[in-house]
Amino acid sequence: MKSRTHKTGLVVGLFPEQYRIADLRLNKPVCHQQIEGGKITGSMLLQDIETAPIEKGKEITYFCPNNVSVLLSISSKSLGKASELYDKFFHSPRD
């Protein structure tokens, strides 16, 4: 099965100062500015979104993740679980 995705953007703000991080795992939005005569005359922040086909002709649309942040999040959760298991099964004999 050949998988294709369609990438687009969603305007999430007009100026970089207005943007608030909703989820650290998302890619940062890209700021596009129009400059005329040395002054900013237009501005927008675009957040990448992808649309991918799923079963029976349906599609799913989602914000593009920052892969490094996703991997760090998974790693952090795994470390927490591993620590719990270690403490449960391999506790120090002095405890």
pLDDT tens column, 31-71: 889 999 999 888 988 888 888 888 888 988 888 888 888 88
d(CA 29, CA 47): 4
Structural domain including 57 reads 1-64
Number of domains observed in the structure of the chain:
2
Instruction: Reduce the DSSP state of residue 69 to 3 states and report it.
Output: helix
d(CA 29, CA 44): 9
Enter the tokens of residue 71: 């991997």
d(CA 22, CA 10): 14
**What pTM does this model have?**
0.55
Mean pLDDT of 6-22: 80
- Kindly state whether residues 27 and 43 are assigned to the same domain: yes
| pLDDT band, residue 75 (cuts 50/70/90) | very high
- 12 in Cβ contact with 26 (< 8 Å): no
Least confident of 4-8, 48-52, 80-84: 4-8
Q: What is the CA radius of gyration of the chain?
A: 21
- Kindly state whether residues 22 and 57 are assigned to the same domain: yes
- Kindly state whether residues 2 and 17 are assigned to the same domain: yes
d(CA 78, CA 95): 25
* Per-residue model confidence (pLDDT) at position 26: 82
Mean pLDDT over the full length of the chain: 84
